[in-house]
Amino acid sequence: MTEARFARHAGRGVLKVYWQVRASCPELTGHALYAQVVAKRSGIAPEAARAIVLKAEQSFAEWPKERELSFRDVVAYLVFAEFVRAHPERKGVQADMRRVVAKIIPGNL
């Protein structure tokens, strides 16, 4: 599977989990919502999911200009991490996963 194809497939999967979490926990917003989505998608403990959300924030929302963390940021980070974990023989990625994710994840989430 190509990197972009992987990103599209994984991004759609994360979006599906997002809607499941929103339906079951409509009161969640922001970081708490993102962490719940990450935990459910990845099958990890809440603390580990919060750490991933924090890493996404540090990677995308603090540099080069500080701004609010978006769900797209979290998805891009998660998709990249999943790809690297699934392909340990690779040293990184060539595709712009943020661009691929931006085509799948609405900006208002």
Average per-residue pLDDT in the chain? 94
Residue 108: inside a domain: no
In a domain, 50, yes or no: yes
* Tally of structural domains, the chain: 1
107 within a domain of the structure (yes/no): no
Letter for the amino acid at 34? Y
- Does residue 109 belong to any structural domain of this protein? no
The mean pLDDT value for 50-55 works out to: 97
Domain assignment of residue 49, given as a range: 3-102
Distances (CA, A) of 27 to 3, 12, 36: 34, 23, 12
Residue 98 in any domain: the answer is yes
- pTM to 2 decimal places: 0.92
pLDDT of residue 63: 74
Residue 41 — very low, low, confident or very high, per pLDDT cuts 50/70/90? very high
d(CA 66, CA 89): 33
Q: What is the pLDDT of residues 74-109, one digit of tens each?
A: 999 999 999 999 998 888 788 898 999 999 999 999
